[in-house]
Structure 1
Amino acid sequence: MALSRLLLFVLLSSYYYIAHGGHRNGFVVVQTRSFESKSLCSASTTNLELGRASVPVVHRHGPCAPSQSSHKLSFAERLRLSRARANFIMSRASNGMVSTRDDDANVSIPTHLGGSVDSLEYVVTVGLGTPAVSQVLLMDTGSDLSWVQCAPCNSAACYPQKDPLFDPTKSSTYASIPCDTAACQNLTADRYQNGCTDGGAHCGYRVEYGDGSKTRGVYSTETLTLAPGVTVEDFRFGCGRDQRGDNDKYDGLVGLGGAPESLVVQTSPVYGRAFSYCLPALNSDAGFLALGAPRAADTSGFVFTPMSHLSDTATFYMVTLTGISVAGKQLDIPPSAFRGGMIIDSGTVITGLPQTAYNALQAAFRKAMEAYPLLPNGDLDTCYNFTGYSNVTVPKVAFTFSGGGTVDLDVHNGILLKDCLAFTESGPDVGLGIIGNVNQRTLEVLYDAGQGKVGFRAGAC
């Protein structure tokens, strides 16, 4: 009888261990059904410190998105667009294209992750104009200039969106930026200017993205509403009159890069050139985008590392990796493999590691997962067939950054994508790498340019 009770206890303990994501010797047991995307949006709240306001943000194609599209790309095509974006960022960074305040008046904007993994995938909902008109904007740390589609714009020049086109004639605070102003002339230095429009009366802008999409129109100012009672007056943005590319349903883009045109720099007198976000693990869960840094008392859960920028490109935020571990074991990777630095990007899906680092990670991960069959022709080079498995044991993967801080990636959402290892090779060790958004899931990533550091907080959403 005692033996039967002991066996029952062991069986129940094992079931609890698996059902709740057991941890053992650097591995985590997860149910394969948790890999599946949910079709319903889960209502949730954002837990941020007192004094930070929040507004809704959702994913482009997830169930929480304010606009649903019938235009769906294959996983392979989504990866192609993400690679194109990553290659563009690398090229731009390589070719040189393009004071801190203790302020509690921060702004938070909720986010959701969707089932799509297009190169730009997280959206925020803000208000533009007076009276404020809701605009659903892609969130992008790899861009600076924000823009929306503006009326008048016919179907040949603008793509379909759910919301009505923003009509500047209906706003009492809209103004186009004259061509002979410093604001317009500064666009030239960042390669966004497109000359003068309407006979020289207005400043023109033009942006081309890594996935081939483009926008051009009139550089303008307007009142931006981030949350009820929280506004940015004279916000500089592009009033788009001609868009091209694989755009669908969303209304525009908000740039969070480090150049003067970005929302982050424009609001720096209030928020100190700091912002953070948390990208949720599932398309039905909520995350957030927040302007401003947490109070010093609220940063105890963060792991910090120094932030750097390329000498001639202010847009990108960079950090330095010093090590990677798999299943709790540090990989044998020489420091020289990371000397090019890593760009953190919200719009790139897959992390690109320099050759030596990637080869070491791939070999260690495959060894840890040798119990599961590899797919010979997966969309990435380390994909698995989990058919028939109700549970999968996944090794932990952790990054160690300059300064000694170590960050565990979420298991399995921050490591696997569509049953594939969410990493690829970015090129020779001397080149740059990119930390993509899959690895960032459930972490609060804090970009504090005023303090010159990047922070990571686990389990934030």
Structure 2
Amino acid sequence: MASSPLLLCVLLLYTYCLTIALGNSEHGFVLVPRSSSASSGLPCSSVSQVTSDPNRVLSVPLAHRYGACAPSSPSGATDRPPSLAERLRRDRARRSHLISKASGRSSISQSDAGVSIPTSLGAAVDSLEYVVTLGFGTPAVPQTVLIDTGSDLSWVQCQPCDASACYPQKDPLFDPSASSTYAPVPCDTQACRDLAAGSYNNGCTTNATGASLCRYGIEYGNFDTTVGLYSTETLTLTPAVSITNFSFGCGLRQRGTFDRFDGLLGLGGAPESLVSQTAETYGGAFSYCLPPGNSSTGFLALGTPSNNTPGSFQFTPLHGVPGQATFYLVTLAGISVGGKQLDIPPAVFSKGMIIDSGTVVTGLPGTAYSALRTAFRSAMSAYPLLPPNEELDTCYNFTGFSNVTVPTVSLTFDGGATIDLDVPSGILLEDCLAFVGGSSDREVGIIGNVNQRTFEVLYDSGRGHVGFRPGAC
């Protein structure tokens, strides 16, 4: 009989551990097998875990650009992903540029061989991580493009373009002459004048027949550039859905490190973006789900889900950044670690947070990050800290551990929406806490894509809110 209390304690402990191992975060911690975080070398999963709306006709697969599910180059070669340190350097540059734009500070313009672009209009392209494949032209030609909520004007590389003017890409260059629906935009048109109003206009050029055509130009935050003809074309999203007269840039001269992909799909809020161009049909709404790892797919969708979509959304008000129609701004109200609310004054979050698909790690106001780091380190005190990796200063050595107990991290937004970040993919980036702190509390913050993993993130400008649906991919 003396052993009964001990046996009872063992059984209770086993039940508690089993509950955690199955992913229940009631106690504020989740037991994570180390094998679950080592997915970068796995083949693309043949079993879809996507739970997008089955009744929504417009949903296209989305993959990590360096993952096993990304389209390969025609030769079958696999692009070598950058190191974590390089990704973080690129990410820091992008985050700084977005904050600078949101604060109304413009970048210095450059010129290249007579091509002058008035200002830096887009965030760094080399930091972008997710791609979709769409069809350009008639007949539709597949083009694999980076998605970016921090950019507006979409573009692909076009023929004629030689190695001195364009970079190597995964698919054949788009050939406008082979499409029956391609049309360059004339210079003396309202469309060209509207492009100038959006600061993407780069003057006019004359073709072989003497026609004056509208030219676009974009300089990104890392000084990569794309210049070409502003054009319209049929964009095929799925076999059942096409967009006619889609305005985009037909790139004839690119400079920089674009890493083999065919172009960019702008998902910002300005008039040039895909979202704005399809607003009459889809209400200015779109969503995506970023997969938890590189060996599975998520989705990109236009429009709002139907009421019978699996799972439910939590919504927070959507705000704009004055003078910057591109960005989507939300307001944080609090952060919890291990089920406990952190003591952060609400004023710390007053500048808002840009929610962005292209930034990797989340940049918090300094006071908020300090509180998060202290609580997270305390909860992870059983594991040895490593030296910082670039700006990530809370990294762990899990060598020898078959399982790791990770505290939950929850974000609460204005209006009460609270999301529990996916464990571990939404909290840890290569065993480092995927947050950084800003130099002050007086600048806008950025919610990066690591925190967004596995959620369907719905941007609905028509209704003025952003929604989060867990477990969507």
TM-score by length of 2: 0.89
What are the residue-to-residue correspondences of 1:341-420 with 2, within 5 Å? 341-379=352-390, 380-420=392-432
Partners in 2 of 1:337 and 1:7 — Cα distance?
Answer: 44
Partners in 1 of 2:166 and 2:342 — Cα distance?
Answer: 49
When the two chains are superposed, the root-mean-square deviation of aligned CA atoms in Å is 2.3
The answer to whether the 8 A contact 1:79-1:118 is kept is: no
Q: Does 1:35 align with 2:47?
A: no
How far apart are residue 229 of structure 1 and its match?
2.0
Q: Does 1:58 align with 2:58?
A: no
Q: Report what 2:52 is aligned to.
A: 48
- The 1:334/1:15 distance shift into structure 2, 3 A limit, reads closer
Q: Extract unaligned runs of 5+ from structure 2.
A: 108-124
Q: Report what 1:104 is aligned to.
A: none
- The 1:377/1:49 distance shift into structure 2, 3 A limit, reads closer
Residue identity opposite 1:148 in structure 2:
V
- The 1:10/1:305 distance shift into structure 2, 3 A limit, reads closer
Q: Report what 1:138 is aligned to.
A: 146
Partners in 2 of 1:188 and 1:394 — Cα distance?
Answer: 50
Q: Report what 2:121 is aligned to.
A: none
- Secondary structure of 1:56 counterpart: strand
Misfit runs of 4+, over 4 Å: 1-19, 296-300
- Secondary structure of 1:90 counterpart: helix
Partners in 2 of 1:204 and 1:94 — Cα distance?
Answer: 28
How far apart are residue 285 of structure 1 and its match?
1.3
Partners in 1 of 2:332 and 2:8 — Cα distance?
Answer: 47
How far apart are residue 298 of structure 1 and its match?
4.2
The answer to whether the 8 A contact 2:67-2:295 is kept is: yes
Q: Does 1:446 align with 2:449?
A: no
The answer to whether the 8 A contact 1:82-1:350 is kept is: yes
How far apart are residue 6 of structure 1 and its match?
7.1
Partners in 2 of 1:234 and 1:289 — Cα distance?
Answer: 21
What are the residue-to-residue correspondences of 1:225-264 with 2, within 5 Å? 225-264=236-275
Q: Report what 1:89 is aligned to.
A: 98
How far apart are residue 22 of structure 1 and its match?
5.3
Partners in 1 of 2:150 and 2:172 — Cα distance?
Answer: 27
Q: Does 1:277 align with 2:288?
A: yes
Q: Report what 2:119 is aligned to.
A: none
- Secondary structure of 1:160 counterpart: coil
Q: Report what 1:156 is aligned to.
A: 164
The answer to whether the 8 A contact 1:23-1:29 is kept is: no
Q: Does 1:321 align with 2:332?
A: yes
How far apart are residue 336 of structure 1 and its match?
0.8
Residue identity opposite 2:152 in structure 1:
D
How far apart are residue 310 of structure 1 and its match?
1.1
- Secondary structure of 1:325 counterpart: strand
Partners in 1 of 2:181 and 2:249 — Cα distance?
Answer: 15
The answer to whether the 8 A contact 1:345-1:434 is kept is: yes
Deviations 1:242-297 (A, max 9, x none): 11222122110100000000000000111000001110101111211110011345
Q: Report what 1:114 is aligned to.
A: none
How far apart are residue 11 of structure 1 and its match?
8.3
- The 1:7/1:322 distance shift into structure 2, 3 A limit, reads closer
- The 1:279/1:300 distance shift into structure 2, 3 A limit, reads closer
Partners in 1 of 2:456 and 2:323 — Cα distance?
Answer: 28
Q: 2:313 aligns with which of 294, 302, 312?
A: 302
Deviations 1:389-412 (A, max 9, x none): 111111111111111111111111
How far apart are residue 13 of structure 1 and its match?
4.8
Deviations 1:16-38 (A, max 9, x none): 44653454521111011111124
The answer to whether the 8 A contact 1:192-1:207 is kept is: yes
The answer to whether the 8 A contact 1:96-1:313 is kept is: no
- Over the matched positions of the two proteins, sequence identity in percent amounts to 60
- The 1:208/1:44 distance shift into structure 2, 3 A limit, reads farther
Q: Extract unaligned runs of 5+ from structure 1.
A: 99-116
What are the residue-to-residue correspondences of 1:69-108 with 2, within 5 Å? 69-95=78-104
Partners in 2 of 1:458 and 1:96 — Cα distance?
Answer: 36
Partners in 1 of 2:78 and 2:17 — Cα distance?
Answer: 40
Partners in 2 of 1:423 and 1:290 — Cα distance?
Answer: 27
- The 1:6/1:325 distance shift into structure 2, 3 A limit, reads closer
What are the residue-to-residue correspondences of 1:171-190 with 2, within 5 Å? 171-190=179-198
Q: Report what 1:222 is aligned to.
A: 233
- The 1:300/1:403 distance shift into structure 2, 3 A limit, reads farther
Q: Report what 1:112 is aligned to.
A: none
The answer to whether the 8 A contact 2:376-2:407 is kept is: yes
TM-score by length of 1: 0.91
Residue identity opposite 1:128 in structure 2:
F
Judge which range, 126-135 or 370-379, deviates more: 370-379
Partners in 1 of 2:448 and 2:173 — Cα distance?
Answer: 31
Partners in 2 of 1:456 and 1:22 — Cα distance?
Answer: 19
Q: Report how many aligned residue pairs link the two structures.
A: 443
Q: Report what 1:430 is aligned to.
A: 442
- Secondary structure of 1:145 counterpart: coil
What are the residue-to-residue correspondences of 1:12-23 with 2, within 5 Å? 13=15, 16-17=18-19, 19-21=21-23, 23=25
- The 1:323/1:273 distance shift into structure 2, 3 A limit, reads same
Residue identity opposite 1:289 in structure 2:
L
How far apart are residue 51 of structure 1 and its match?
2.9
Q: 1:125 aligns with which of 116, 119, 133?
A: 133
Residue identity opposite 2:416 in structure 1:
G
The answer to whether the 8 A contact 2:360-2:450 is kept is: yes
Deviations 1:61-116 (A, max 9, x none): 11111125444322111111111111111111111769xxxxxxxxxxxxxxxxxx
